[in-house]
Structures are given as structure tokens and as C-alpha cells.
Amino acid sequence: MSDERAVQEVLARYVRATDRRDGAAQGALFTDDAEVRIFEKAGPDRYEPVGEPLVGGAGVRYAVENFMAPHPEGGSSHHVTADHLITVDGDTAHLNAQFVVFEVRTTPERSIQAVESGYYDTELRRLDGEWKIVRHHALGDLPMRVTQP
């Protein structure tokens, strides 16, 4: 597998873990000292941070398990990422991709609705042959639905 494809696959695993609310799987994608920030659009080409940064895979896992709302009965979510821009330089990589998050509900009526969109801007490093996220910024187009202490 090419380095570019391996980096893209890290994002694919990230969004699937988010959709499943699987903190352990999501946290495993990050280094121990990774920085994770969420931003919301504050104007053309300008973003403001939301909450405090998360640190490392343990911080990501904790946030997923304690702050992300569980899906309601008959509900799920699906991330779609597109237009991946990937550069690899030795053991470092940069990934930027568009994302859209859909809420799916089967009760009381069937519905699918886009609820979030924006860009993921991510730095990765290859450690022991495995790509890990060292910096991950979610740049939301709308105010993100985030609960942080």
C-alpha cells in the first residue's frame, strides 16, 4: 500500500470509530502527545477554537466515551470524507479532507440529515511502521455540537 493510501486509511478508521462512538479505536490512532482541536467558522478563512484542546490518544478516548452523545434508539451517524489532499515527506504526512456528517434515524420516522460539515486538517507521523495522528484540527462550517469541560 502506498504511503498516501495508508494515511487516507487512518482518516477512514477515525471517522468509522467516531460513528460507532468507539473511543478505544479512535484513541489508538493518535500519539500520546497529539493535539486535537475543534474550530468553528468565524468568517471567511477564519476559525475560532471551541473548548480546550485534547491531548493524546487517551484524551481522545476519554472525550469520545464521556462527551459524545450516544446515538438514540434507531439512530446512527455516517461521516463522508472527500477531496483528500495528502503530502508525504519521509515519516511525516499532512492530510486535508472535506467532511460531512449525516444523522440517520429509523424511529419514529426514517430520516437522513446532514448535521455537520467542514475540513479535517491533520498531521501524521510514521512510528514503528504505523501512521499515527500528531495534530488533528476539525474546522467546522457551523457551530459544532461539542460538550467539553
pLDDT along the chain (149 residues), means of 10: 97 97 98 97 91 96 94 94 98 98 93 95 98 97 58
Rg of the chain over all Cα atoms, to the nearest angstrom: 15
Write down the pLDDT at residue 108: 87
Specify the CATH architecture of the domain 3-140: Roll (3.10)
Write down the pLDDT at residue 43: 87
Return the C-alpha cell found at 21.
462512538
Strand partners, 111: 105
Return the C-alpha cell found at 30.
493518535
Q: Where are the domains of the chain?
A: 3-140
* Element spanning 19, H or E: helix 3-20
